[in-house]
Chains A and B, each alone.
Chain A
């Protein structure tokens, strides 16, 4: 039966796109085929607006085993070990149904990682909410956090860190980005590319239900006032089945029976089967009567478009079915051969002995529309902040205001809901600059950090793009890791708007520049457009997830100050840039000026010098300086240990606001014993690294000489308050 205009529109396809569909089919499409095209051609699956720009990113170097284009990126960390990782968004579903949206976001990213043959070893996330004053925020925060915890805790993968931010811009479009990191043998990585004719296509995992139908299409459109009506498009997670699927897949992967494997994520059975066939340049034929269904009378349309979770598609080598089935039987999971690979280069679906769909694979994959969207690169504000016009406030009041703000408060309320210790390899939990997770049974570890800076990106997307990469790099260095590679999740408004597209292009340019300079390739990622409601877009929010390697477990640093009498040095130059700073935002509700500039040369130089000090055992604690500036970072070090600090006034006359709260980039705070000062000075001189002594560790008083004196304990109380008050059960 021919489809009509309304159906085409309801599937998010334009008249021009439908014209193309007709051309590829050589006839009109039926409803099932239209659904399949809609699922494959939507923004979420096709990257039709972003692909052209993403190509600019550096994706290769000598450690990259697999870059973007597979389920996840893969890098070599030596000794045949490979790290498989990726970050992905689940923004739209989490706004509609926070618990399930966030939970299935975690589930999906875990499958991306174990599909490739890796055992997941760590989860991270970046979550952004609207203003705490917005009536939806509390419910969304509680739902998302328990959803992330509910899934990860149950599967038994530690959630070791992340970031949580609040800003009005996310009032109607929250962001939930989840990252998973897995460990594999580098000689046993599994890919989605099908090979060979007449190979069995096997469905494993959960049964197919009616949940999540058209989820990917929903996530490729903006919201309006009725977005809650989209609840049925949100999938429901079952972490228990995920755990069984994980163990069953890893067990099967021990031998060589799998030719190709792909999880059924967005657009479920449709995208997984097409992905495999398209990459293998093959056809695929499925008998839909064989698909295990949760409900009666499911139609081919529902089966092909369901986004029921915890399902995988495998292509098995000849005569391996019996052994494979035994494994899935052991784990009480469905295992059904539903089709075979063919040489037709077509997707053919049969149901009730009738052919119900017949589409050339290329039309769904390689020939999917690609748009070069219009974009305008705006000129961004360069005006300097006039500090003399600001109302005078006390330094200590400004500090306490920042420490007690939602964006800078201690996040234990969140992280205490995540099992951070299961698997017994978590060396450093959340709360520091990066999480550190040991490689099981080995004397090495990886560091993981997730970062974003939406305020910077809004004010100047290119500088902002550079800054996040640099900050991520710095966070990895701060724990003693050599930064290796990143994954990114690019959260933006509608690509159909030239200014949003301009922000996207600029951010990509910034990320590209920093990644190239720092030899920090992008190996996987995800783009989330249409984060907007009633035509109002969110701030551009690219999120970077980075991995670094630590080869000596004795040389890991954290932000905790260690001993009275030790000195704190700031590495990198303090100029006093207050544009877009937490100081202005939290104290004056201002977001003026440009973000701080990034000098990549200094960034690299300073970072490598700090890393050398860590490796020599000279740097006893390390903390990068980011949002809030030097004084906030000093306070964080102090609160972490409970020890105090005596902070010196700047030697050269500088404005105290600028000096203590400026967010100049490329800076670190390091603690060292006085005996090592000489050594450090020689080393820094040799490497041309600017440094300055700023404080001394002392008992329990946090003070700036001659300005103020506080108890470290009071800083902790101030920093620990907000989340508990906000989420108190009344």
Chain B
């Protein structure tokens, strides 16, 4: 059985949602409070969405300095699988596990809606159950999801299949119109070099139940199950 840990900060609010999705797929999940100094043995570490520390100072900035994060960082460096969703992505950037920045949405408003992303590459532990080129409908809900990075890093991401998903329209066209937040090159999620750490703005856990919408997000968790 796969073991997962969901890190809970004060202000996290998608922790229960992700735990429900993981349990649905029989992950043995533990919730780990931010004040803990040790991580339980886990095959997957998830940093959930929400407003850790109220997003005060800067989204993710305070959480990046919490007790448990130093454990997450060393696990990440050792090659553990880490998934940061939404605020979790922001935290991964703030703590340096992922590079770049998540700026305020270009429209200067919080955006919550269903969007499409295209799988650019399925060659990773996170996306192997999908087909490359597949279009998924997922949900976003954020104020700071406008990804930005340097030209060099962007080239590195683009040239090494480190951008697994990009915003697109229903037909898979990646263009300005289908970019909800101004992200550079329509980036919706990125990997670190070793592809064991994934940060993404869309919420796969919100698309894991047919009665709510669809199950387009389940593939991500299925992929992680070996």
Contacts and interface: CB of A to CB of B under 8 A. Distances in A.
A, B: real partners = yes
Contact of B211 (A238, A239, A553, A729): A553
A424 interface: yes
Interface stretch (A58-66, A145-153, A568-576): A145-153
B108 interface: yes
A438 B109 contact: no
B54 A425 contact: no
A493 B2 CA distance: 62
A427 B141 contact: no
B10 A244 contact: yes
Of residues B55, B110, B112, B113, which shows the largest number of chain A Cβ atoms within 10 Å of its Cβ?
Answer: B112
A154 B11 contact: yes
A422 B141 contact: yes
Contacts of A149: 110
Contacts of A192: none
B110 A421 contact: no
Given A154-B51, A240-B11, A425 B212 contact: yes
A137 to B, nearest CB: 18
Interface stretch (B93-101, B182-190, B201-209): B201-209
Contacts, number: 85
A149 B50 CA distance: 13
B20 interface: yes
A164 to B, nearest CB: 16
B contact residues, range: 20 to 34
Interface of B: 10-11, 13-14, 16-17, 20-21, 35, 49-51, 53-56, 108-113, 139, 141, 203, 205-206, 208-209, 211-212
A710 interface: no
Given A240-B11, A243-B13, A729 B108 contact: yes
Nearest to A443: B211
B54 A154 contact: yes
9 contacts: A153-B141, A156-B14, A331-B10, A416-B109, A417-B110, A417-B111, A421-B139, A424-B21, A424-B209
B139 A423 contact: no
Contacts of A331: 10
B10 A154 contact: no
Interface in A147-169: 149-150, 153-156
A419 interface: yes
A238 B206 contact: no
Interface residues of A, number: 32
Contact of A423 (B10, B17, B21, B51): B17
Nearest to A154: B51
A432 to B, nearest CB: 14
A420 B114 CA distance: 10
Interface string A398-416: 0000000000000010001
B17 A422 contact: yes
Contacts of B108: 729
Contacts of A426: 212
B55 A154 contact: yes
A238 B55 CA distance: 11
Contacts of B11: 154, 240, 243-244
A417 B54 contact: no
B10 A153 contact: no
B13 A422 contact: yes
Interface of A: 146, 149-150, 153-156, 238-241, 243-244, 330-332, 412, 416-427, 438, 553, 729
Given A149-B110, A156-B13, A729-B108, A419 B55 contact: no
A497 B51 CA distance: 46
A243 B20 contact: no
B112 A419 contact: yes
B50 A156 contact: yes
B79 to A, nearest CB: 30
Given A154-B55, A238-B54, A423-B17, A243 B10 contact: yes
A419 B87 CA distance: 14
A238 B49 CA distance: 19
Given A149-B110, A240-B54, A422-B13, 9 more contacts: A154-B13, A156-B14, A244-B11, A416-B112, A417-B112, A419-B110, A420-B112, A422-B141, A424-B16
A34 B134 CA distance: 69
A277 B212 CA distance: 45
Nearest to A333: B10
A417 B212 contact: no
Contacts of B20: 424
Contacts of A155: 13
Contact of A438 (B50, B111, B113, B211): B211
B49 to A, nearest CB: 8
A561 to B, nearest CB: 19
A553 to B, nearest CB: 6
A244 B110 CA distance: 22
B13 to A, nearest CB: 3
A422 B108 CA distance: 21
A426 B141 CA distance: 14
Of residues A154, A424, A729, which shows the largest number of chain B Cβ atoms within 10 Å of its Cβ?
Answer: A424
A697 to B, nearest CB: 22
Contacts of B111: 416-417
A343 to B, nearest CB: 40
B170 to A, nearest CB: 12
A118 to B, nearest CB: 16
Contacts of B51: 153-154, 156, 239-240, 243
Give 4 nearest A-B pairs by CB, closest first: A156-B13, A240-B54, A419-B141, A154-B51
Contacts of A241: 54
B10 A240 contact: yes
Contacts of B141: 153, 419, 421-422
A153 B112 contact: yes
Given A239-B51, A240-B56, A423 B16 contact: yes
Contacts of B55: 154, 240
Contacts of B209: 424
